[in-house]
Chain A
Amino acid sequence: GESVGLHLPTLSVQEGDNSIINCAYSNSASDYFIWYKQESGKGPQFIIDIRSNMDKRQGQRVTVLLNKTVKHLSLQIAATQPGDSAVYFCADSLWIDKLIFGTGTRLQVFP
């Protein structure tokens, strides 16, 4: 069945460094991928998304890379800030608009 997973449960980075959070997905038919950020006590918030016809998409300080050959997705955060500390989830979906989430990666930013 469909599944999306994350390689690292916790990532610690120094403030100002770049962060890379990785994700593997299993359904080669998935055509939409999305990253969410969840701060403590809050619901997930949209960060960035990408469709399967793209390899890279950039937002403000964030970049998502999609490698369909190895079914791998990554989120890059430039110049990581304390406010970036949160749990990050990747999710994928097929055309039916239903998102399947991974287990999440906790990003910790230290000074």
Chain B
Amino acid sequence: DAEITQSPRHKITETGRQVTLACHQTWNHNNMFWYRQDLGHGLRLIHYSYGVQDTNKGEVSDGYSVSRSNTEDLPLTLESAASSQTSVYFCASSPTGQGNTEAFFGQGTRLTVV
């Protein structure tokens, strides 16, 4: 079955380190998204991509970057991890041109920056 997977599921890192969270989907979806989820803020969009070589900033993109070298993967990089980036991160994908924008979410990555 097609799916979307995130790795790792849990990560502890130190302030200042570079961290990369992986997201891989097997639906061949063009759209991919990264959200962070914090208590009281719901899901906030970090970066998104509408296809290979396309990346766009979301509402909370500072300190994060993404790259889209193929359809299946959208890794999220924290250039220099900060305690404020402690959060749960969700990756999602959705198709285009199919009359709806339902997004399928991964299981999440819990990141702790100490």
Within 8 A of B (CB), among A88-105: 89, 91, 93, 97-104
Say whether B71 faces chain A, with CB atoms less than 8 Å apart: no
Shortest distance from the beta carbon of A84 to any chain B beta carbon, whole Å: 19
Shortest distance from the beta carbon of B37 to any chain A beta carbon, whole Å: 9
* Chain B: interface residue total (CB-CB under 8 A): 25
Q: Is there an interface contact between A43 and B108, defined as CB atoms closer than 8 Å?
A: yes
**Bound complex: CA A89 to CA B41 (Å):** 11
Q: Is there an interface contact between B44 and A34, defined as CB atoms closer than 8 Å?
A: no
Shortest distance from the beta carbon of B28 to any chain A beta carbon, whole Å: 16
Chain A residues packing against B (C-beta within 8 Å)? 32, 34, 36, 41-46, 49, 89, 91, 93, 97-104
15 A/B residue pairs, CB under 8 Å, sorted by A: A32-B100, A36-B105, A41-B108, A42-B108, A43-B90, A43-B105, A45-B105, A46-B102, A46-B103, A49-B102, A97-B31, A98-B45, A99-B103, A100-B45, A103-B40
Which 4 A-B residue pairs are closest in the complex by CB-CB distance?
Answer: A43-B105, A103-B42, A101-B43, A97-B101
- Additional A-B contacts beyond A46-B104, A99-B103, A100-B45 (19; CB < 8 A): A36-B105, A42-B108, A43-B105, A43-B106, A43-B107, A44-B90, A46-B103, A49-B100, A89-B43, A93-B101, A97-B96, A98-B33, A98-B48, A98-B58, A99-B33, A99-B101, A101-B44, A103-B41, A104-B42
